Structure 1
């Protein structure tokens, strides 16, 4: 097969596994990996960058608030004075507040599009998706009120158009709403109310962001430090180079003809004028309902959740620590029995799985100390395992694959359904076992494979930042390196274990790495003194 055809097949395989939109994002991310490096790729940390921009906007907003005069005339004058008296402090802080806020909404929307493109909105992810929808509108509401507070010509437009927009809602007294921005009603008290609303909605947004992360273990709310520092520096440079200025004092006696517009936050207002406020509400409501209903509209088929065997669970809590979606809790025996309906030993806490939050990734099974193939009990059972892929079946499949190995430098390849395809590697001297996530593989199975005839074990996991279940590659690396329980035992020859981390479209690289690994195994067999002592889990392909 030619290199071009192989590359095309890799691309088609990646597209088939992700869909067209997901494949486009994947290509962009891989391109950004080459420029930024996978660890500092902004497309892989959109949520964390949005958090950073929120805090930058909050900090700069607090500085501006210290000099802000809450009043009809004082609002505009205090901001103008701040920009002129402190061009490199107050003026820069005001500009940073504007640009960090814009970056927040842009990153949030891009984050939504990325998660949709990758299909990460249904099944066990429904809560994270649904809790994220109102965050967009809270951010927009806070931004609109913020623009009103400036009380320049743009603020006058925002106030008048927003009141017409609200007046179109059913059950609202339209005359009273419109009178709120009549000349005699625009008072210092109104601006005090607006400032309260601006701060209150921002705090509600922060609360919503906290709720949004509740189903995630170890959520990434801070970007990689180089990326975070670079983003903050870029916004600071932009704030100094292009200051955000007011657009002329508001005058209710006349309407402004030309305005510098912020489409990130004020997009709904021109929409209400283009058609009608009622039509704009209908479009926005339909879009919001569609986004909210998306998790239940043709999502992926949900797999059975992990199950706990109380007779095998020793209450160690490793599954609780390793679960990427906080689907596992440790409960007292009485509580565990009430939740599961099964009798639990009275001497220890028992793991309990929330089926609604379980991703069926199997990482918990890989963490369980009873998930070892060396146990000699009649029926191999684990403290926690996937009903569709129990540990006994994992051992049976492994033994079946090991039985097909013949010749020299034989290798068992452990793969992941979301990583590069490993089942196509099967052939003379090579067997493959594919798991839902490489994090499901207990290290003892690697040792078992080597003792049952395989000359080497190759673990092919997802590339950095590409794990479908967030933490599978991270925990596998740590277990192989002896940094996390259960770890690969020290007696296992490290030169016979090789771990690589590749993206879905890097199947050619996988073949090359496999051939090179078999070459090293063959060399070590012929010349035992030339064995290398490679530490598993540190190779990136």
Structure 2
């Protein structure tokens, strides 16, 4: 049932994701940087908002006048800043909604990752009031409508001793102090809580990506600037509490619920809102995830090098002083509540080498469900069973393409929890010790790793820029890495076939050289 529900947004978003992939490539695909883009748009909102506030007058008559001055008299800068403020706010809602849908459809909200999902729900309660109060401050007829509708919503709750709606009955009932309070909430109060909320949201992620790639950020900003110039944000007529607002142009990103409230019950609205928030909060438990056993440290083989600590994407590994008689001062310690059982730590451990002569290979840190010794034994068995002239060992991941579909007379596939679980020494081991002609590595799409950084660490280890690295004496032409989404099986298959053909030519050339030698 859950997988069917998760599949729906995945199917709906797949064409958008593929289209953006063709245009921007994997590194700059906005779908892989939605969280960072949301934060970037908030920065744009902040900078443009500060400029607007410099000229803004927090009074009943001054609010509308100063916004109109910026829009028309100072259109070349103030008007652009106002429009940029509007469109960046809308863009943040779009990327925020997409971010939630993508994480839900990918299943990246359960188990040890429940904390980031759960702490993201209150951010929604901050972002929407922030946008609504911004519209309110313009004090045009749309702001008047929002003020009346919001006051009816708040009056349904036992918050105020006097009905808030009384402030909007006549022009004389509203004072400048109300605008000062509103400006404080919009400019200082809510943003402060939002900043702390984002920090809390990212607390359990190591090296959280809070900035999108520079080219993507520049392109996004250029798009917003172009939209601000071509379609500047405009105000309605000034607010007049003596008339009922009509013919309003809505910002549906922030104000969608308001037309639905006309003639409806405010209490029903709050019930739906609270119920939906509770449903989102409980999603990680519907049903509870069957978690794999967390990583386990073997004190006798851990030298406290810190590679697992450096590579863990979820801050589940720490280094602490040892209490035994070992000559190494520190030892890795795993927090089982934070561990996602990705195996990246085992892939980074210097003792996770298949060349060790121990039959019962034990690593300094390992995964109980699929230890390094099992990866070695499966690699041996898989290669021994191959009968074709060209033998290729494929390593994939459980959250990417189903590599078992590639099994053939000359191809053996092993699926890991994450490709970051693969120590680079296994590539050399398969080529030099077990007779493989080539090693093919695949996994989640670049930038969209289920465990955040598995494919990045694999790329860097194989390239020799991250420890443990693939030794330089390994023939790079016999190693091929291709990243792809679960739906890219056919494309990866073509890459695998081309790799096998290349190996066949290399073997033929090598045999010809030997014969003429």
**Normalising by structure 2, what TM-score?**
0.92
- Between 483-492 and 445-454, the greater mean CA deviation after superposition: 445-454
**For the residues of structure 2 that align with 1:244 and 1:18, how far apart are their CA atoms?**
37
| 8 Å contact kept, 1:310–1:344 | no
Which position in structure 1 is the counterpart of 2:237?
Answer: 248
| 8 Å contact kept, 2:383–2:393 | yes
**For the residues of structure 2 that align with 1:254 and 1:115, how far apart are their CA atoms?**
46
**For the residues of structure 2 that align with 1:307 and 1:475, how far apart are their CA atoms?**
21
- Structure 1 portions without partners, runs of 5+: 1-14, 335-342, 532-541
Rate the CA distance shift 1:17–1:302 in 2: closer, same or farther, 3 A: farther
Secondary structure at the residue paired with 2:486?
coil
Query: Once superposed, which parts of structure 1, at least 4 consecutive aligned residues long, lie more than 6 Å away?
Result: 15-18
**For the residues of structure 1 that align with 2:470 and 2:413, how far apart are their CA atoms?**
20
**For the residues of structure 2 that align with 1:284 and 1:362, how far apart are their CA atoms?**
39
1:474 Cα shift? 0.9
| 8 Å contact kept, 2:383–2:391 | no
The partner residue of 1:366 within 343, 347, 356 is 347
| 8 Å contact kept, 1:446–1:457 | yes
The partner residue of 2:148 within 160, 164, 181 is 160
Deviations 1:235-286 (A, max 9, x none): 1122122222221222222222222222222233333333111111111111
| 8 Å contact kept, 1:307–1:385 | yes
The partner residue of 2:374 within 375, 393, 397 is 393
Deviations 1:448-484 (A, max 9, x none): 1122222222222333233211211111111111111
Which position in structure 2 is the counterpart of 1:409?
Answer: 390
**Normalising by structure 1, what TM-score?**
0.88
1:148 Cα shift? 1.6
**For the residues of structure 2 that align with 1:360 and 1:305, how far apart are their CA atoms?**
5
* Mapping 1:132-211, distance limit 5 Å: 132-169=120-157, 171-173=158-160, 175-182=162-169, 183-199=171-187, 200-211=189-200
Rate the CA distance shift 1:17–1:514 in 2: closer, same or farther, 3 A: farther
**For the residues of structure 2 that align with 1:261 and 1:425, how far apart are their CA atoms?**
52
* Mapping 1:12-91, distance limit 5 Å: 19-91=7-79
Which position in structure 2 is the counterpart of 1:5?
Answer: none
* Mapping 1:1-20, distance limit 5 Å: 19-20=7-8
Which position in structure 2 is the counterpart of 1:289?
Answer: 278
1:427 Cα shift? 3.0
1:230 Cα shift? 1.9
Rate the CA distance shift 1:346–1:217 in 2: closer, same or farther, 3 A: same
**For the residues of structure 2 that align with 1:372 and 1:163, how far apart are their CA atoms?**
66
1:177 Cα shift? 2.5
- Between 285-294 and 455-464, the greater mean CA deviation after superposition: 455-464
| 8 Å contact kept, 2:6–2:104 | no
| 8 Å contact kept, 2:392–2:436 | yes
* Mapping 1:246-325, distance limit 5 Å: 246-298=235-287, 300-325=289-314
Which position in structure 2 is the counterpart of 1:438?
Answer: 419
- Structure 2 portions without partners, runs of 5+: none
Rate the CA distance shift 1:287–1:227 in 2: closer, same or farther, 3 A: same
Cα RMSD, aligned residues only: 2.3
| 8 Å contact kept, 1:332–1:349 | yes
Secondary structure at the residue paired with 2:442?
strand
**For the residues of structure 2 that align with 1:17 and 1:249, how far apart are their CA atoms?**
46
Secondary structure at the residue paired with 2:178?
helix
- Between 310-319 and 421-430, the greater mean CA deviation after superposition: 421-430
Give the paired residue count.
508
